[in-house]
Amino acid sequence: MKKFISLISAAVFSATLVLPQTLAFSAAAEESALEESTVFDAAAAEANPFQATGTANTLPYQLRFVPERNFVTAEEVAAGDVVIPAAVYISGSTANRFGSVMVKYDAFRNDEKTDSVYFSGISTGDTAHRTSEKKTYNSSQGTFTTDYVPYCFGSVYDDEYDSNSPMFTTREYACDPIFGSTITSAGKNKIKFNASFYNSADERKNGVKKTNKDFIADVTVDENGNGVYSYDYIDQSSFQTITKTATLPRYNPDTPEGEKLPDTCNSVMWVAGTSQLKDGAEFLGSTSDEFPLFHVNIVISKGTASGIYDVQFLTRETVGANEAPTQLTSNKSKEFPTELVGTSIAVGVDSVAVTDSQQDNVQFYTDSNTNIIRATDFASKILADVTYTDGTTESDVDITRLVDCYGATPKELYDKQAKNGFFSSPNMPLYYNGKLLKWKTTDKNVTQNIMVGKRGDLNFDGGVDSTDIFYLSLYIAQKAVGMKTTLYTGTSTDANMEDFAFYLMDFDTLGQTSTATLDSTDIYYLLLYVANRAVGNHIAWDSFVL
């Protein structure tokens, strides 16, 4: 045994010596592959730079809507609008390059769109949202100070932050639907925007300079509080005069003159900056969700009725006709498979009692995961009878997005409660707004089987080293010659230990595919990880996963 481990240790030492050459070769191969595909992808991008030309062969990414809180009291909404800061994160591999991201979302009540919940104050990583003062941020790539809003596709070099000149397009401010010009207040019940246009086909044909005009229109307020305005314009195809009527969401007639009017704030599109267009953008940090893609406020309107309100990303099935859906796209115009995880806001809830639940048998995590454990990780639905503080009730309401483990994270559970090299709780209690979640029929706790381990730690000794390389190599070699063998050789009698060990050692697919297997690729990644750590390089497992 000692000889085998010594041999593996020698292999690790050798890997540290050849690591620079290995990385250089990989980079050259990647660059060559990129050059070969440039002509094809450029042709597709020229036709429509935001249209995906296929699906990337990767594990699914996850797009998450994360509010600072999920619960609002009836007293709060009775007193006024309740503003909840939120952010949208991308979770997944850091090995891929991104070209664009389209995010669309809306608020729903019982699967119907609602005006009681809306959005405001989008904040992105572009120049338009630079702050008045510089702030200091800590990241896995060092501490940096900037007046930009750091976002997931920024970068840090020598403690200097670079936004990489991103191109963000949002519905933060209202624009007229014909010219796309920003609308400002022109005083009480009036709006103004500026546009340029040709008065006739002859003007366009002869290259006459366009007419520049300030459009001013009166605004009336409808029963829903939206502003309605009309204006005449010259259609640039037929050159006929046409009257256009449009609306302004939640129009405030007293908006100061010259101030921009807000739009729906429910759409954000990001495109890689000019310095990243060819090669694509990389994530800032060792994990993709160290920083959000953007920030936005969820606003619960004053007087909103008690209930569960859902914020959902819009898909091809739910987005409007001829509109682009939510999607993540690579720099080669391939769409990344993506799991969309929205959120819910509970207003005026007094108590809940679970009536039905569909949960996975067990949920595995790694100790590096610092995200709050949520029921959306392992449950397709948790339904409950809900009683509100106003005395009203609802049956079989989906509360899945409101359930967690009392705010616990996998990292906290592993660091504080791991035994024998891993954390395991077959009956981890679930919580709703800090209260134990109970079954309606039995009043027993609703629970989930949760296990947390260290990725790469096959012998569960708390470290990742040459011993783990040896045991993984031995397992793969024995499987290759048809020997009956197991990954887990410890004393635990938990029936999930073998699958758990597989999850911790499957570095490229995380056991998430139907064809997942352990092979030489996993040995290579484990060698690479240990070798990098041996020479002091910080490396994250997410950089291996495609």
Distance CA 231, CA 413 (A): 61
Domains of the chain are 2-13+456-543 (1.10.1330), 184-248 (no CATH), 348-413+424-452 (2.60.40)
CA–CA gap between residue 428 and residue 425 (Å, rounded): 5
- What does each C-alpha distance from 412 to 138, 371, 406, 473 come to in angstroms? 20, 10, 12, 31
Residue with tokens 């397709």: 380
What pLDDT, on the 0 to 100 scale, is given for residue 4? Answer: 40
**What pLDDT, on a 0 to 100 scale, did the predictor assign at position 302?**
96
Give the per-residue pLDDT at 15: 43
What are the contacts of 112-116 at 24+ separation with CB within 8 A?
Answer: 114/309, 115/224, 115/301, 116/300, 116/301, 116/304, 116/305, 116/309
Neighbouring C-beta atoms of residue 401, cutoff 10 Å: 24
What does the pLDDT read at residue 276?
Answer: 74
Burial tier of 494 (Cβ tally within 10 Å: 0-12, 13-18, 19+): middle
| Number of separate helices (H) and strands (E) present in the chain | 7, 32
Q: Which helix (H) or strand (E) holds 447?
A: strand 447-453
Phi first, then psi: give them for residue 44, nearest 5 degrees. Answer: -65, -40
Residues of the chain with pLDDT under 70: 1-54, 56-57, 511-514, 545-546
State residue 338's pLDDT score: 95
What are the structure tokens assigned to 42, written together? 């450029």
DSSP element (H, E) containing 120: strand 117-123
DSSP per-residue string spanning 154-221: -EEETTEEE----EEEESSB-B-TTT-PBPEE-STTEEEEEEEE-SSHHHHHTTPPPEEEEEEEEEEE
Burial class (CB in 10 A: 0-12, 13-18, 19+), 202: exposed
| 291/154 Cα distance (integer angstroms) | 9
Q: Model pTM?
A: 0.86
Residue 244 near residue 233 (C-beta atoms within 8 A):
yes
Query: Which tens digits make up the pLDDT trace of 447-504?
Result: 999 999 999 999 999 999 999 999 999 999 999 999 999 999 999 999 999 999 999 9
